[in-house]
Amino acid sequence: MNNSLALRQSILLLGMAFSGSLLAQTFVYVSAAEDGTIARYALNDQTGELKPLGDTPAGGKVMPMAIGPDKKTLYAAVRSQPMRLVSWSINGKTGALTPASESAAAASYPYISLDRQGRFLLAASYDSGLVHVYRLGAHGKVTTPFVEEIQAGHAAHSVIVDATNHSAYVGVLGTDRVLQLALHQDGQLTPVGDGFVATAAKNGPRHSVLSPDNRFLYNVGEMSGAIVQFARQPDGTLTQIAAYPSAVAQKYHLQHGVERTASYSDTTPRIWAADIKMTPDGRFLYVTERTSSTVTGYRVSQQDGKLQPIGSWPVEKQPRGIAITSDGRWLIASGEKSAVIGSYAIDRESGELHRVAEAPVGKDANWVTIVSIE
């Protein structure tokens, strides 16, 4: 009798878990800068298929996006005049976006992120060399003016916050530095240690990602294609421990990259790295290179964080953005010169990518953001 009851309880619990997974919804958002829209998709968690759900107007050259930790709000920066920070409420059942707020942006931002508590939006300005911190109000509103401004240096390209919510890191392409800053409860930013760590000359630090255990930071250099690995100390300081050269430069005969201004016209095939992402379990890391239109994958040592190349795969043309689902099973890639986005299965054992689906997208697709809602 007891065994029968235990069996029925086990079946009930399994059924509840299974039905819960069926109720989970995964939505993909891709900003199409030239069209001024955000494309919406439903991602099939079992097959990787992308179902287009429509386009949401953003009212200008929309590029970087971020989702709040409560998964209820999508934020984006519009980089054309008038420059704005825009937010939408996310419908957890349909993925639809409802306008929530618009605020004037103090600069043109190629990168935005949120702190871990959803209290602040941080923004890096390439054109102005600044980092701004905005306080977030009720219903996802970005309040102005900003509460903090720091001089980051020429071509500030990214800003992220660590798992403790006490440290912020800024990739500064033009100075070959990664800034290390303390993030305070009032949104102020102050230098930690020397305030920065230097990389090799003409490396061009661009985007960064932190390991899930908060022990390591990895930054990809736009001009070198190298991944620089830093050890993170409890006080937020960084120490470089390794650098991994571009995995595709030799194969595709790419010369060292240069900073690309608005008037850039050099036709020499050069390294032009863009994005870097890690699976939530910290086992695999991926970077994009736009000239070769590839994504390269690495296995991450769980002991010392060292990287071992897995392989490189052709993806959408000129891939600026990638994102990985919260279960680590799917990678979505966009291409600035591609009419589609691609869905790639991540092999759970090897980390290899396998293209499984595509879906149409607007012009100049760049930023990819994914949210899973139960």
Q: What is the pLDDT of residues 142-164, one digit of tens each?
A: 999 999 999 999 999 999 999 99
**Binning pLDDT at 50, 70 and 90, where does residue 305 land?**
very high
Report if residue 3 sits inside a domain.
Answer: no
Which pLDDT does position 22 carry in this prediction?
52
pLDDT tens by residue, 194-225: 999 999 999 999 999 999 999 999 999 999 99
For residue 53, tell me if it sits in a domain. Answer: yes
DSSP SS3 for 2:
helix
Which tokens belong to 255? 């010369």
Q: Taking Cα atoms as reference points, which of 70, 75, 71, 72 lies closest to residue 38?
A: 75
pLDDT band at 39 (very low <50, low <70, confident <90, very high): very high
Sign of dihedral through CA atoms 212, 208, 90, 87? positive
Residue 358 forms part of a structural domain: yes
On whether residue 9 sits in a domain, the answer given is no
Which three-class secondary structure state does DSSP give residue 183? strand
Question: Residue 140: pLDDT band by 50, 70, 90 thresholds?
Answer: confident
37 in a domain, yes or no? yes
**Dihedral, CA atoms, 359, 361, 365, 369, nearest 10 degrees?**
-60
Whole-number pLDDT of residue 23: 61
Residue 7 belongs to a domain: no
**303 burial level (CB within 10 Å; 0-12, 13-18, 19+):** exposed
Q: Measured between alpha carbons, how far is 201 from 16 in angstroms, rounded to an integer? A: 55
Which phi and psi angles does 297 have, rounded to 5°?
-110, 150
Does residue 215 sit within a domain? yes
Residue 5 has pLDDT above 90, yes or no: no
pLDDT at 16: 39
Write out the residue range of the structural domain in which residue 302 sits: 25-260+267-373
Measured at the alpha carbon of residue 297, what is the angle toward residues 52 and 116, in degrees to the nearest 5?
65
The share of the chain scoring above pLDDT 70, in percent, equals 94
pLDDT at 262: 81
**Residue recorded with tokens 């920065």:** 196
Global pTM reads 0.93
The domain that holds 130 is classified in CATH as 2.130.10.10
Based on the structure, what is the number of domains in the chain?
1
Residue 11 lies in a domain: no
